[in-house]
Amino acid sequence: MADDFSQLRKSVYAGRGIGVGRTVSRQEFMAYFVTGRSIPSQARELLYDDGTGIIRTSPITSPERLRNAFKLRDEAELKKIQTEIASGSPPLLYYPAIAVRYDSIVGSNGAQTELLYDQAFRGHWQAIFSHSFEDENRMFSIERNRYDHTFVDKNTGKRGRWISLIMPEPDSPNNTPRISAAIVKGEAGFHTIKYNEFGDVVREPRSIFLVPGMMRMITTYSGGNEKPLKPFSELPIGINIHSKTPQDLVQRIYESIAHGANPDENFAVSAAVVMRSKKGLEFAIFNRFGEPQFSHGVVGQSP
């Protein structure tokens, strides 16, 4: 029986998505996918760092890989794409997507994963979120910000900016929400940061019951390709899961984002799954512009 990704397949452009769940054999897992419309967003892949047990986004910089990925015809086209990639904002494009530390699996659509990793010792998903995003004593601390040296103000021409990890992404008019997830000792939750219709920042944790054979997923956008993009709906998507291995599940996820509602546009970039199994902590990655990666016995570091 196949996994039911029919609702995700209805999306033209979902942005990024993060999911938590259990297989039918009660193996808990976290899943993540990346899609992109611009060249800097598409010229990425997910990579596994075996020194830390972290899955991260990374730019594709090899000229040969870029030529093959974007079917470039000459050096002028290559240089144009290389310039576009270099102009992308590193704090928004390159970040740890899923990390393992202690008994926790944490992940997000941005550099806020580092905040979650720092608080992974808390022993409960809600405590990880509250200390990462809502602790008033640390609200304006430097670790909750990232410096973006690529930014140029269109009005003044001045360079550089600080990006807050506890605010929606500064990509107006989309104002992409920050979505995060955590699994700790068999319990799970989501945390979202976005603007409401009045322009107020809303930070909301949500408990997720890990049901065998079910994944709950949230995406940054509602699934259309409008301008500006609409943020996700309030309720996570429920997806019936029959895959038993991270390899099978990651392929099903990638197929869903690559063959969405508009077959003429493929915004898929990459998908990854981290799963606790009898073999240990396993991971699987499926990249559009690279070879799939699979491994057993992933060990997250605890510095």
- As averages over each run of 10 residues, the pLDDT of the chain (303 residues) reads 85 94 96 94 92 91 91 92 92 95 94 96 95 85 93 92 96 94 96 93 96 96 90 88 93 88 80 88 89 58 47
Beta bridge pairs of residue 275: 29, 282
Query: Do the Cβ atoms of 77 and 71 come closer than 8 Å?
Result: no
pLDDT score for 17: 97
Q: Which residues of 217-228 are buried (b: 16+ CB within 10 A; e: fewer)?
A: bbbbbebebeee
CA nearest to 179, candidates 133, 226, 123: 133
CA nearest to 258, candidates 228, 232, 289: 289
Question: CB neighbours (10 Å) of residue 174?
Answer: 17
State pTM to two decimals. Answer: 0.93
pLDDT score for 303: 47
Does the bond joining 59 to the residue before it have cis omega, within 30 degrees of 0? no
Query: Cβ contacts of residue 63 below 8 Å, gap of 6+?
Result: 78, 82
Question: CB neighbours (10 Å) of residue 192?
Answer: 22
209 vs 302: CA distance, rounded Å: 26
Instruction: Given CATH 3.60.20, say whether it is the number of domain 6-92+140-176+208-295.
Output: yes
Sheet holding 214-219, edge to edge: 237-240, 214-219, 16-22, 28-35, 268-277, 280-287, 293-295
pLDDT score for 286: 93
pLDDT score for 294: 65
Q: For 138, phi and psi rounded to 5 degrees?
A: -115, 15
CA distances to 10, 159, 217, 256 from 5, in Å: 9, 43, 11, 6
Q: β-strands 28-35, 293-295: how paired? A: unpaired
pLDDT score for 295: 61
pLDDT score for 229: 92
Q: Where are the domains of the chain?
A: 6-92+140-176+208-295
